[in-house]
Amino acid sequence: MTSPGSLETLTAELAGQLPYGDIKQLAHACRKGRSGLRSLEAQVAGIAVRAACRRLRTHLPGDADGGYAAGLLLGAAQARLKYRSDHDADVVWTGPASGVQTSRLTSAVVSELIDSARTELLLVSYATFPPASLTAALASAAARGVEVTLLLEQPADNPNFHGTPAFPTLAAARWNWPIGNRKPGAALHAKIIVVDRQVALIGSANLTGHAFEKNLECGILLRDPEQANAIARHLGSLRETGILTQSA
């Protein structure tokens, strides 16, 4: 049985929180010992990966080879991938860690979802102040032929909303909910990502850096094509009937 502060416990926790690509980077760095982890921390932009580097360094003696830690990371990540394939839903969190292993980080899940898209991406958000990593991931998806659709709140449609146009250079279809089609005081408050009508993330997190890294946020990652398709179809129907409109 491992102790709460053991290397085994830490690697299992990281494998549950970070994308598989990040785990592979960490494992590669671990093999070079503490110096490898310091080098990776200096290179990456993600807060979660930098924090993982610092935590892993405390478990490596001196500058010894971290092959054992690397093996634990990769083994735990593979086990996690198998677990996810056997389950329809995961809880997704942003915010302070607790003693309960719940599930995954919002930023990691959003990154994986966008990178996994092959045909279409639908993103719905109220506040939209995206981190550079999200903008780059969406641009990459559009460049490989993914049809990106954005349904975002607009100041013109909600006098109480104060935001700026998001993703101005992104090749995307842009929908909005005009003020004339709303009840007084209504807000476009849903936070949804649907990928290829196969997977959906529904939760409290807007498309903002704070929502991905700082706030206390919770969501459900739903691997249910029937429900993911139903969400996309519902919003598509609102567009077809004119309740939602497409921006110029």
Residue 102 confidence (pLDDT) above 70:
no
pLDDT recorded at residue 85: 64
Residue 84 confidence (pLDDT) above 80:
no
Look over the chain and give the mean of its residue pLDDT values, rounded to a whole number.
90
Phi, psi dihedrals of residue 236, rounded to the nearest 5°: -65, -40
| Sign of the C-alpha dihedral computed for residues 8, 13, 19 and 22 taken in this order | negative
One-letter amino acid of 20: Y
Strands (E), 136-243: 147-152, 173-176, 192-195, 199-203, 207-208, 217-222
Model confidence pLDDT, tens digit, residues 142-199: 999 999 999 999 999 999 999 888 999 999 999 999 999 999 999 999 999 999 999 9
Question: Quick check: 193 and 121 in contact, CB under 8 A?
Answer: yes
Q: CA 154 to CA 156: how far, in whole Å?
A: 5
Residue 219 confidence (pLDDT) above 60:
yes
Q: Range(s) for CATH 3.30.870.10 in the chain?
A: 104-246
The fourth-level CATH superfamily of domain 104-246 is Endonuclease Chain A (3.30.870.10)
pLDDT recorded at residue 196: 96
Model confidence pLDDT, tens digit, residues 104-141: 789 889 999 999 999 999 999 999 999 998 999 999 99
Question: Quick check: 33 and 98 in contact, CB under 8 A?
Answer: no
Model confidence pLDDT, tens digit, residues 2-56: 444 688 999 988 988 888 888 999 999 999 999 999 999 999 887 888 999 999 9
pTM: 0.69
Q: Left, alpha or beta for 185 (phi > 0: left; psi -120 to 50: alpha)?
A: left
Quote the tokens at residue 204. Answer: 């409290």
- Residues with Cβ within 8 Å of 77's Cβ and at least 6 positions away in sequence, in order, are 15, 20, 23, 24
pLDDT recorded at residue 53: 94
Overall average pLDDT of the 226-236 stretch: 94
Comparing 65 with 142, the larger pLDDT belongs to: 142
